[in-house]
Amino acid sequence: MSASNNLEAAANAVVEDIANDVKGVLGGKDLESNPQIKALRQRVEAKLAIARELASEKSKIAAKKAKDAASTANAYAHDEPWQIAAGALAVGVLVGLLLGRR
């Protein structure tokens, strides 16, 4: 579950970095008197709020998909242990052959 938390934290950090950069550019004292800049700042802040929400939802969806995939793989491994063992054996033999050629 920590991988999904890391993914969510990374996505949120990127959105926050972008938000801080944009706010830094639009937050200058000399720009406050311009009504177009004020309107732009409001639109940007509204869209950044939407982007934050979307990033959060995307990371939650990705975490759920990863959890479902891990659960499915775990169930398969418990249901078919001999197929997993045979696959691991085949990969081991292949790696052994490739390393033995050197």
Lookup: tokens for 101 = 């050629």
Residue 5 confidence (pLDDT): 67
- Residue 93: the pLDDT is 94
Blockwise average pLDDT, block size 10, the chain, 102 residues: 67 78 73 77 82 83 92 90 91 93 76
- pTM of the entire structure? 0.52
pLDDT value of residue 13: 79
Q: Got the DSSP string for 16-70?
A: HHHHHHHHHHHT-GGGTT-HHHHHHHHHHHHHHHHHHHHHHHHHHHHHHHHHHHH
Q: What is the pLDDT of residue 58?
A: 84
Q: What is the model's pLDDT at position 14?
A: 79
